[in-house]
Chains A and B, each alone.
Chain A
Amino acid sequence: MKVLRIGLGQVRPALGDVSRNLNLHLEWVEEAEKQEIQLLVFPELGLTGYYLKDLTLEVARPLDHPDILRMVDASRKVDLVFSFIEESGDHRFYVAAVYASKGQVVHVHRKLYLPTYGMFEESRHFAKGKEMHSFASGLGAQMGMAICEDAWHPSVPYLLSIAGVDVVIIPAAGPGRALSGDPNTGSQQFWHRLIRTYAQLFTSYFVFVNRVGFEDGVFFFGHSAVAGPDGELVASTDSMDAQLLAVEIDLDLLRKERYRSPFLRDEDPHLTLRELERILGR
């Protein structure tokens, strides 16, 4: 069995306090090293907090900022995914997730879909990412990242799947709302259904890491979870409290599931492309 040990870093960030969050992240990295975790994933905007509004300008960091370099440097023993407001050279502000390994940046994903409706106002402050890539990780698995709302657009996991992906990492800041009669919140049920369905359709692992804590009265529901290529939940923190959960995934299961359910083999991206062009009138 080819096992990958992933840490779900379900932290409670402090809004707008980057140095406090950085220290929190670094403490958890140490803990993850002790637990022999190979890849530790933190939630969306774990270094900054979520409801930033005009704080955006104060918390944004370029990739070469000392705070970011410290996080990258902390990836010497354990691969890290962490998220913050990335300021580009031309001063656009992106919701970004960095994959760092062996003290180097391996990949930066900039959030593609910025929710701006109801309780969300991301487009007011942030620039949209334009690309999605899968990338080799050195852990024996091809990785892809999608930040929170990105995952609500099936084109994102679809394109990652076509690009070639074994593990899709979804750092999230999912607020709890639409409570239902179920002990699990409505939002949590949506997410777990979503990652299980994607995992099965794209015969890949989906790693959902959601933050916890309150900001301006809104709670983030945690319940970080991993779904496997058979569509089953591998693990869930089952909690809205801060928690570091180590989860082992079996990469050999990808092989078996892709043989049993060869959706990836049979998927025809050229058909998709042709039809997209026709539908879009090109």
Chain B
Amino acid sequence: MAINHLEDVLLYLDQSISHALPVLVAFLREETEKAGFKDVVFGLSGGIDSAVVAYLAAEAFGKDRVHPLIMPYKTSSPASLEDAQKVVSALGLEGKVVDITPQIDAYFANQEEATPLRRGNKMARERMTIIYDHSVIYRALPLGTSNKTELLLGYGTQHGDLASAINPIGDLYKTQIRKVASQLGVPQSILTKPPSADLWESQTDEGELGFTYDEADVILHLLVDDRFSPEEVVQAGFREDLVRTITKRMMQNQYKRRLPLIAKVSSRTIGIDFRYPRDWGM
């Protein structure tokens, strides 16, 4: 039962976004231009998420207004760099390469004990400061490249890859990103390789998370969109420990999806009862 259910839901997820492209492209164009920007900037890793953002941005703005930054570290896989270059040349973009090795190595110079997690987080945040610096250079709005699965699982670095001004793919699960990527003509090598944050050698998302994106997406969809209780998801045929892990991750990482808490002392407090749309004044 579980397997059928999994495939049915995956098929539904695929179909449901089969006509989402015009919305995503219009979103980019309108929300960027409303904010007074003509150009956009983002990190291009060679992975599928940022590749999709590059294709959407090229469609929305034309190649001259789209500024991808390729920011490898010395241990980054050469295949990632190659895939990023493929996207850049397929779309005719000017991709700028910024090697982050010197600053990362300088920071960790006397800290042999630094864990891969700390190093990975530092790299993600380093890259984001470079993106925001280039947003001044290019007068460009930073685009987010986190998908709904990552956002819900909290599988990303706060103030690092999770940061952005606007995000065109944050309501698409990872498996839906694959669908959109194939519609957009993202190169095959990017579509088929195992997803990886590429923060250390041979890291893969699924290896690190301990479950597959197919499983995560279906369980998240049932919990989030179809409002199943965790018990109902288990009854639908999914492993109890897996459902528990995913539910817990989603709850524990809520803080990454919200502004910092503010101690309320006034009658109108930011985030509580000072309530304006983000598009205020645009």
In the assembled complex, the CB of A192 is this many whole angstroms from the nearest CB of chain B, namely 16
* A15 to B277 alpha-carbon distance, docked (Å): 9
In the assembled complex, the CB of A21 is this many whole angstroms from the nearest CB of chain B, namely 13
Please determine whether A179 and B275 come into contact, CB atoms closer than 8 angstroms.
no
In the assembled complex, the CB of B25 is this many whole angstroms from the nearest CB of chain A, namely 11
B:16-34 near A, CB below 8 Å: 16-20, 22-23, 26-27, 30-31, 34
In the assembled complex, the CB of B248 is this many whole angstroms from the nearest CB of chain A, namely 25
| Contact among B20, B23, B275, B282 with A53 in the assembled complex (CB-CB below 8 Å) | B275
Please determine whether B278 and A216 come into contact, CB atoms closer than 8 angstroms.
yes
Secondary structure at chain A's binding surface: helix, strand, loop or mixed? loop
* A14 to B31 alpha-carbon distance, docked (Å): 12
* A179 to B31 alpha-carbon distance, docked (Å): 20
Mask, B1-45, CB within 8 Å of A = 1, is 000000000000001111110110011001100100000000000
> Taking CB as reference atom, which chain B residue is nearest A53?
B275
* A33 to B22 alpha-carbon distance, docked (Å): 32
Please determine whether B17 and A213 come into contact, CB atoms closer than 8 angstroms.
no
Please determine whether A183 and B274 come into contact, CB atoms closer than 8 angstroms.
no
User: Known interface pairs A15-B282, A55-B280, A216-B279. Does A181 touch B19 (Cβ–Cβ under 8 Å)?
Assistant: yes
Q: How many residues of B contact A (CB 8 A)?
A: 23
Q: Which residues of B contact A185 (CB under 8 A)?
A: 19
* A185 to B17 alpha-carbon distance, docked (Å): 10
Mask, A183-222, CB within 8 Å of B = 1, is 1010000000000000000000000000001111101000
B281 in the interface (beta carbon within 8 A): yes
Q: Which residues of B contact A183 (CB under 8 A)?
A: 19
- State the 6 A-B residue pairs at the shortest beta-carbon distance, nearest first: A181-B15, A53-B275, A214-B30, A51-B277, A216-B278, A183-B19
- Chain A positions within 8 Å of B, measured between CB atoms, are 14-16, 51-55, 176, 179-183, 185, 213-217, 219, 240
